[in-house]
Amino acid sequence: MRETPRSQGTAGGSRSRHPLPRPGRALAHMTGASGSGTPHRSDRRPPHTPRGARHPGPGGCLGTTPPVPGQPAFLSLGFFALCGLLFALVTWQVTATGPLRRADERLGRAVVGHGPTGLTEFLADLGNIAVALPVLAAAITYTLWRAGRHDRGALARASAAALAMAMVPALVAPLKSWIARPGPLTQDTGYYPSGHTATAVVAYCGAALLLRAYVRRHRWWPPVLALVLTLATGVGLVLRGYHWPLDVLGSWFLCAMLLVLSHRLPARYSRPPRASRAPAAPDQ
C-alpha cells in the first residue's frame, strides 16, 4: 500500500509535523487481518499480559478461564431446593398416612413378586454395601492416582465423595427410627427411607461424577450408567418386596441433595491454569 506522504516543513525549516499513521501497518494488528486470526497480535503470539493468555471456556459454559464453571450455581441451588421440597412432601405423606402413601401401598402390593426371582434379587443386591462401596472406592483411588498428590481440587472432590457416603447412615438411620414405617411383607418397622437405595445413589452417582472428569470422549456414559444402576436397584427392591416405592423415591430425593453438596462445595479448591510467564519474542 502506498505510504501517505510526509508533510512539508514550515517556512523556517525548523519544525515539521509528525508523520500521519500508515493504515497498511495498523491493519496487520487488527482482528481478521490476513495472517492474524487473533485480536491480540499479528504473529499469533500472545501478548505479555496474563489476560491475553486466557482461553475461552468449554462450549455450553459461561465465562472464561480461569476459572471455568461447570454449570451456573443457581441451577445447582434450584435442583437442591426442588429435591428438598419433594423429599419433604414424600416424608409428610408417609408420616401422615396421606393419599400418596395409600396409593403407594396399593402399587407396592400389586407389583411385589413380579419378574424373574434371580434377576430381581440381583438388582436388589446392587444396593448392598459389599457391592456399591468398592465401586466408589475404586473411583476415588483412580481419581487420586490420575490427579497426583499436589492437585488440591481432585483431593477435595474425592474427600467429598467419601464424606457423602459416610453421611448416608448418619441421615438414613435416624429417619428410619423416627418414621418407623412397616415393610411390604412384614410388620417390622424402619423401612423409610431405603438404605439400600441411598447407598446405590451415592456410590454409583458419586463414582460417575469423579470419573467423568477423566473421560475425553462420550462423557455422557458415566452418569447414564450410574442412573441405570440406581434405577435398577430401586426396581429390584420394590419387586422383591423389600421396600415400598415411596421408600425408594424418598431416598432418591435425599441423596440427590447430598450429591449436589458433595459436587459443588469442592469447586473452590480447583486450581486455575497458570498463565505462562515466559517473555514473548520481540516483533520482527
Neighbours of 59 (CB within 10 A): 5
Residue 58 counted as domain residue: no
The amino acid that residue 5 corresponds to is P
In three-state secondary structure terms, 56 is: strand
Q: List the single range of 61-65, 119-123, 179-183 with lowest mean pLDDT.
A: 61-65
Question: For the chain, where are the E strands, in sequence order?
Answer: none
The reply to whether 279 falls in a domain is no
Q: What's the whole-number average pLDDT of the chain?
A: 78
pLDDT at 9 over 60: no
Instruction: Count how many domains the chain has.
Output: 1
42 vs 100, higher pLDDT: 100
- Structural domain contains residue 34: no
d(CA 192, CA 175): 7
In a domain, 3, yes or no: no
Residue 49 included in any domain: no
Look at residue 135 and tell me whether its pLDDT is greater than 60: yes
Q: What is the CB neighbour count within 10 angstroms for residue 167?
A: 16
Model pLDDT for residues 88-114, shown as the tens digit of each residue: 999 999 999 999 999 999 999 999 999
Q: What is the pLDDT of residues 143-160, one digit of tens each?
A: 988 877 667 778 888 999
Buried b (16+ CB within 10 A) or exposed e, 85-120: ebbeebbebbeeeeebbeebbeebeeebeebeeeeb
What is the pLDDT at residue 218? 82
Domain annotation covers residue 205: yes
> Taking residues 69-79, what's their average pLDDT?
72
- Residue 282 resides in a domain: no
Range of the domain at 86: 73-269
pLDDT digits (tens, 9 = 90+) for 219-265: 889 999 999 999 999 999 999 999 999 999 999 999 999 999 888 87
Where is average pLDDT lowest: 33-47, 120-134, 260-274?
Answer: 33-47
Q: Which three cell numbers stand for residue 262?
A: 458433595
What is the Cα Rg of the chain in Å?
30
The total of other beta-carbon atoms located within 10 Å of residue 79's CB is 15
- Determine the residue type at 191: Y
CATH number of domain containing 205: 1.20.144
Residue 39 lies in a domain: no
The CA distance from 105 to 258, in Å, is 27
- Largest Cα span, the chain: 114
In this prediction, residues 260-272 reach a mean pLDDT of: 68
Cα–Cα distance, 42 to 261 (Å, whole number): 46
